[in-house]
Amino acid sequence: MLERKQRLVSITSHVATSRIGPNPSWQRFRKYTFDYEDRPTFARHVLTQVRQFGRVDAAEFMPTRFSYSEAETGWHSSLNALPAIVLAITGPTSPDPMCTGAGTANRPIAS
């Protein structure tokens, strides 16, 4: 079974507050955190919320929320069946799927 054990938890962006010297000083500009919901389908998770913060965590903006429809799992019966293709291999090459009958490898059937 495939399992995804790693998730992106947050992203933090910084801006330079001074450009003097080879080592500028940096200040946090935004922080984004990501919330997930585990789903039983193929051991995966879906993103449910992105939260955005300003220069400090106390300055939270309105979160963006996501919702998803439930996936149907399992097999369903169908009244349709795959069409049967009759092939005749009459030589070293494989026949074209549109050809059938003896001696018609790689040639269309005349109608």
Amino acid 58 reads: A
The Cα 10–Cα 36 span in angstroms is 12
Q: Is the pTM of this model over 0.85?
A: no
Residue with tokens 């051991």: 43
Kindly state the tokens that stand for 23: 């080592």
Output the CA–CA distances (angstroms, integers) from residue 29 to 10, 15, 64, in the order listed.
14, 6, 19
Please tell me the predicted confidence (pLDDT) of residue 104: 46
- Residue bearing the bigger pLDDT, 25 or 82: 25
Give residue limits of the domains in the chain.
10-65
Q: Are 35 and 67 in contact (CB under 8 A)?
A: no
Cβ proximity of 52 and 65 under 8 Å: no
| CA–CA gap between residue 5 and residue 98 (Å, rounded) | 47
Q: What is the pLDDT of residues 15-70, one digit of tens each?
A: 988 877 778 888 999 999 999 988 776 657 889 999 999 998 888 999 999 988 87
Looking at residue 1, its pLDDT comes to 47
